[in-house]
Amino acid sequence: MDVMLLAGTRPEAVKLAPLALALAEHPRLRPLVVHSGQHQGMVEQALAPFGLPVDAWLDTPPRDTGSQAELVSGLLPALDRLLRQVAPAAVVVQGDTTTGLAGALAAFWLGIPVVHLEAGLRTHDLAAPFPEEGTRQMISRIAALHLAPTPGAAAALRAEGVPRQRIAVTGNTVVDAVIAIAERDLPARDTALALLEMEIAEANERLVLVTSHRRESWGEPLSRTLAAIELIVAEHSDVQVLFPVHPNPAVREQVLTALGGTPRVTITEPLEYPDLVRALRLAELVLTDSGGIQEEAPTFGTPVLVLRDVTERREAIEAGCAWLVGTDTGLIADTAAKILRGDLHPTHAGNPYGDGNAAALTVAALEELLDLAPAPRTAAETR
């Protein structure tokens, strides 16, 4: 029985990879990894460290405008054709992307069960993040199985009327992914990261990792963040900043104009996933508006300043792993200073998003959805 795993962006691919590996070991279920083409090249890059290929690409027309409407209008017919051809037992969509929404709609219209990985995240503000909050709420209305990463996410779904029996609390598969990559301890492939790592070790310096890519961060909010980075570097002579920049030309130009040539600031292309994991392990502090990094960093006890006004990942903040600072220049710089001075510490209670067992729990939930007997335990598992 094929289970289609649909991805169009790097975060989707990273979070689907552990599930694909777990399904590949199942006696009756088989993963079918499908690339929507939303971000060309990124899905393949993200899957490669896990030894996973893309099994199928959607046949979509070339995109001219880059709008959401154009993307969806190309994805839906291609998805409909592939789903009719393959007839999978279920379609797994991840998170809150346009690919996920299109996949959920196409499968729902054909009566194929929609499985929502990372379900139940909510800010209850359709404008923040936009359009992701609306996208994930729409997917929730038609999903047959909701894989909630935390009890809080499950509670949010129940409050919206989703039956308890259609919700499984699994943890987040990104924790499975980050643990698997970290255990391999791969050397940096990015030359700038490798050189920076050596420089930090030789000079006994500290690394601050920065990422900012969300639409609501572009323009003036990003300018305030960049000003905070300048303050952090100026006030802490032992700090090196690593900023892998989003490929959007406007964002890249803004970052290079503000920070290009600034001493102790290294600007790179987006890092491959193993390099990002390595940077998270090395970092003394992370500044980010990324949802995934809020989930990944607690695995290494790395404190996170969340560059957003609201976050659907409250668990990291409530657990003392992260602090919500928005894009206020002074608040970012002051909070960073407290952490770098040792006045503010993250808790060491573990990662609130799981312990690396999410893929196994997801497979168990899929078995129940598809009315399969649990996979037989191996001799090693029974010992």
List, by residue number, the catalytic residues. Answer: 96, 118, 132, 213, 215, 246
- Whether cis (ω within 30° of 0) applies to the bond prior to 11 is no
Residue 115 CB-density burial (10 A; 0-12 exposed, 13-18 middle, 19+ buried): buried
Alpha carbon distances (Å) from 161 to 17, 141, 273, 343:
30, 10, 37, 43
Query: Which two structure tokens, joined as six digits, stand for 23?
Result: 């399904």
**Of 154, 242, 157, 142, nearest in space to 191 by CA:** 242
**Of 261, 280, 325, nearest in space to 181 by CA:** 280
Distance CA 381, CA 361 (A): 15
The 3-class SS string of 312-354 reads CCHHHHHCCCEEECCCCHHHHHHHHHHHHHCCCCCCCCCCCCC
């209008």: which residue's tokens?
A: 73
Q: Taking the CB of residue 21, how many other CB atoms lie within 10 A of it?
A: 17
